[in-house]
Amino acid sequence: MLIEEASRRKEGEISAPVLMIVATLLFATMSMCVKLASAEYGTGEMVFYRGIIGAVIVSTLARRRGITLRTSVPALHFWRSLAGVCALGLWFYAIEALPLSTAVTLNYTAPVWMAVLLIGGSVFLKQGRADARLIGPIFAGFIGAICILRPAIQDDQTWSGLVGLLSGLLTAMAYLHVAALGRAGEPDTRVVFFFSIASMGGGALLTFLADGWHAHTLHGLGLLLAMGLLATLAQLLLTRAYAIGKLLVNGSLQYLGIAWSYLYGVWLFGDRITGVSLLGMGLIAMAGIAATALRKPLASHGEMETPEEPEGL
C-alpha cells in the first residue's frame, strides 16, 4: 500500500514534513515582522494591510483555478471571519506587548481550547459522553499557560498575557467554523478570501477608533509587504502539508513555530525567557500534540467535527 501511495505522488513533490517545517519558519518570520512593524503601525493597521495582501493573492489564485468567490453560506463566513479577525487582532497586540515566543505560544493554545470546546459541545448537545482522555491534555495545557503567564504577571504584563490566551480561544472557535464551512463544501480559497476581506474591514474600523493611520516609510512598507506575503505563502504550504501528510505528524511539527519564535526573540529583541516559561512552552506543545492525536478519533465518533487543515492566521 505504501508503495502504491508513493507511486501516485508526482515525481519531485516535497514531502509534508518538509512543507510543515518551512511553513512554521515562515509563520515565525511573519510574527517577527509584526513585532518590528508595531513600532510604526497600530494593531488595526497591521490587520488591515494583512487583509489587503491576502485578498489580492487569494483572489488571483481563485481566478487562475476557475474558483468562484460567490458563496451560498454567508452566515457561516461571517461568524468564521468574526472569530478569526478578533483572534488576529488580539494576537498582533500580544506580539507587540510580550516576548515574541510568549505571544506565539499563547496563541498555540488553540488545540487545547478546541479540546475544551469538544468536551463542552458533547455535554451540552448530549451527543455522548465526553472522552476523559482529553482531560489530561487540557490540564497540562493550562498549567503551561500559567507557567507562561506567571513571569508576565511579575513584569506587569498580565493584561497582555490574557489577551494572548484569548487569541488562542478565538482561534479555536475560528477553526471550528472552518470545519463547518468545509462540510458545507466551501473551498479553502473562498474561506481565506472572505477572512481577508473581513480583516480589511475590521482593521480599518479599529484604526479609526484607535490611533488613526500612520504615514508610511520604506521600512514600514517593506515590513507590511513581507508580513502579508509570508503569511499567505506559509498558509499555502501548511494547507498542502495537511492535504498529503498525516494529521499527528503535521500537528506535532507545527509547534516548531514556538522554537523559531524563541530564537528570533532572543536574537533580535533580547527577550528574557525564564526556565518556568520554557517549561510552560513545552507543556503547551505536548498538550496540543496530545489533543490533536485524540481529536480525529473523537470526531469520527460523531461528537464534534474539527478541521484537519488548520487555516492559520
Give the Cα separation of 149 and 140 in Å (integer): 14
Residue-range domain boundaries for the chain: 16-300
Q: Which residues contact 159 (CB under 8 A, 6 or more apart)?
A: none
**R_g of the chain, CA atoms, integer Å:** 19
For 252-255, the CB contacts below 8 A with 24+ separation are 252/289, 252/292, 253/17, 253/20, 253/21, 253/24, 254/20, 254/23, 254/24, 254/108, 254/310, 255/24, 255/108, 255/285, 255/288, 255/289
pLDDT of residue 311: 55
DSSP secondary structure letters along 87-124: HHHHHHHHHHHS-HHHHHHHHTTHHHHHHHHHHHHHHH
How many Cα atoms occupy the beta-carbon half-sphere of 251 within 13 Å? 24
d(C-alpha 281, C-alpha 255), whole Å: 10
3-state secondary structure of 3: helix
pLDDT per residue rounded down to tens, the chain (313 residues)? 444 444 445 555 788 889 989 999 999 999 999 999 999 999 999 999 999 999 999 999 999 999 999 999 999 999 999 999 999 999 999 999 999 988 999 998 888 888 788 777 666 655 555 566 777 888 888 888 888 877 665 667 888 989 999 999 999 898 888 888 888 888 888 988 999 999 999 999 999 998 799 999 999 999 999 999 999 898 888 878 877 887 777 778 888 899 999 889 989 998 887 888 889 889 999 888 887 777 555 444 444 445 554 555 6
Amino acid in position 198: A
> Could you give the CA distance from residue 170 to residue 93 in angstroms, rounded to a whole number?
14
Name the pTM for this structure: 0.85
Q: What is the pLDDT of residue 3?
A: 43
Neighbours of 43 (CB within 10 A): 24
Q: Could you give the angle at which helices 16-37 and 74-97 cross, rounded to 10 degrees?
A: 60
C-alpha cell at 292: 490533536
Residue 7: what pLDDT?
45
